[in-house]
Amino acid sequence: MWSWVAHRVTGVLIFFFLFVHVLDTALVRVSPEDYDKVVATYKTPIVALLEYGLVAAILFHALNGLRVIAVDFWSKGPRYQKQMFWTVMGVWVVLMAGAVYPVLGHAARVLFGS
């Protein structure tokens, strides 16, 4: 049940990110100076945390989507859906741990110095 809810929520969050991304990228044709200002705000530590959340949402949505495909198209999928869910969560945690430095490293250097 909760994986179903999380899958929908992450899908909506990813959609809104893509919408904002298209809008801010389109800004470069309207006003390059304003575009540069917007991009400068993306280099703040708070936005780095939001980016980490985006990585979390995309990874969960992708991994859970593979689980949903397996449940739907594999004859034994429904029987093993709980085990597959916990496998997805384990892989997700490992990948999120690996994403800490690449995504949040710059923010840590800004906040705490190099």
Q: Is 61 annotated as a binding residue?
A: yes
Residue indicated by tokens 């995309």 = 58
Tell me: the pLDDT tens digits for 15-31?
A: 999 999 999 899 999 99
Number of domains in the chain: 1
103 close to 55: Cβ distance less than 8 angstroms? yes
User: Above 80 in pLDDT, residue 114?
Assistant: no
- pLDDT for the residue numbered 55: 97
Domain that holds residue 39: 1-112
Tokens for 108, please give them: 């840590």
Mean pLDDT of the chain: 93
The pLDDT confidence band at residue 2, using thresholds 50, 70 and 90, is confident
pTM over 0.85: yes
Give the CATH number of the domain where residue 35 resides: 1.20.1300.10
The pLDDT confidence band at residue 85, using thresholds 50, 70 and 90, is very high
